[in-house]
Amino acid sequence: MSVHTARRLRLIGAGQVVLLVAAVFFAVTTLVGLRDVSSIVNQADRWLGNSFSIAAGGFCMLRAILVRGERLAWAVLGTGLLSYGAGSIYFTEIMNHADAPSPSPADIGWLVFYATTCISVILLLRGRVTRFHPSLWLDALVGGLGVAALASGLAAVVIGVDNPAGLSVLGLNIAYPLADLMLLVLVASAFGLRGWRPEKAWWLLGISLAGFAVADTIVTGAMAGGTYTPGGPVEALWALALVLPACAAWQRAPREMSDRVAGWEMLFIPFFFAVSALTLLVVGAFIRLPPLTVVLAAGTILSAIVRAGITFTEVRQLVDSKMQARTDELTGFANRRGFFELLSEEEARDCGATRFALLVLDLDRFKEINDSLGHQVGDDLLKLVGRRIETALRPTDLLARLGGDEFAVLLQDADATAARAVAERVLAALDGPFDVDGVSFHVDASIGVAVYPDHAVAGNVLLQRADIAMYAAKAARTRIEHYRPGADLHILDRLDVIETLRAGLGQDQLRLHYQMKVDLRTGICHAVEALVRWEHPTRGLLQPNEFLPMAEHTGLMRTLTLEVLGLALDQCRQWWDAGLKIGVAVNLSAPNLLDKGFPAEVRDLLTAKGVPPRALELEITETALMLDRIRTAAVLGSLREMGVRIAVDDYGTGYSSLAYLRELPVDVLKLDKSFVIHLDSDPLSAAIVQSTVGLAHSLALRIVAEGVETETAMGRLADYGCDFAQGFYLGAPQPADKLTPLLWHRNNRRAYSSSGEGGYPPSRLERVTAADLMADGAEPARAGHPWT
Q: What are phi and psi of 318, to 5 degrees?
A: -65, -40
Cis peptide before 453 (omega within 30 of 0): yes
Going by DSSP bridges, is the β-strand pair 480-482/445-452 parallel, antiparallel, or unpaired? parallel
Q: How far apart are alpha carbons 726 and 299 in whole angstroms?
A: 94
Cis peptide before 103 (omega within 30 of 0): yes
* Cβ neighbour number for residue 470 with a 10 Å cutoff: 26
Q: Which amino acid is at 671?
A: L
* Cβ neighbour number for residue 327 with a 10 Å cutoff: 17
Q: Which of 408, 400, 495 is nearest to 450 (CA)?
A: 408
* Cβ neighbour number for residue 313 with a 10 Å cutoff: 11
- Show the DSSP H helices in 642-710 as ranges: 658-663, 673-676, 683-698
> DSSP string of 340-364?
HHHHHHHHHHTTT-S-EEEEEEEET
* Contact between residue 573 and residue 616 where contact means Cβ atoms under 8 Å apart: no
Q: How far apart are alpha carbons 278 and 274 in whole angstroms?
A: 6
Q: How far apart are alpha carbons 192 and 198 in whole angstroms?
A: 8
Q: What are phi and psi of 771, to 5 degrees?
A: -65, -25
Residue 622's alpha-carbon distances to 155, 296, 565, 673, in angstroms, are 93, 82, 20, 14
Going by DSSP bridges, is the β-strand pair 540-542/616-621 parallel, antiparallel, or unpaired? unpaired
Residue 511's alpha-carbon distances to 245, 284, 508, 514, 783, in angstroms, are 79, 97, 8, 10, 32
Quote the strand ranges of 443-501, DSSP E. Answer: 445-452, 480-482
Question: Which residue out of 235, 347, 368, 706 is catalytically annotated?
Answer: 706
* Contact between residue 374 and residue 386 where contact means Cβ atoms under 8 Å apart: no
Q: How far apart are alpha carbons 175 and 166 in whole angstroms?
A: 14
Q: Output helix, strand, coil percentages for the chain, rounded to the nearest 5.
A: 60, 10, 30
Contact partners, residue 470, CB within 8 Å, separation at least 6: 360, 361, 362, 446, 447, 448, 481
* Contact between residue 623 and residue 589 where contact means Cβ atoms under 8 Å apart: no
The CA-CA-CA angle for residues 55, 57, 61, to 5°, reads 115
Going by DSSP bridges, is the β-strand pair 734-735/439-441 parallel, antiparallel, or unpaired? unpaired
329 included as an active-site residue: no
Residue 338's alpha-carbon distances to 376, 448, 468, in angstroms, are 25, 20, 21
Q: How far apart are alpha carbons 713 and 520 in whole angstroms?
A: 11
Residue 10, burial from CB neighbour count under 10 angstroms (0-12, 13-18, 19+): exposed
**Cβ density class 215-243: b for 16+ within 10 Å, e for less:** bbbbbbeeebeeeeebbbebbbbbbbbbb
Active site (catalytic) residues:
706
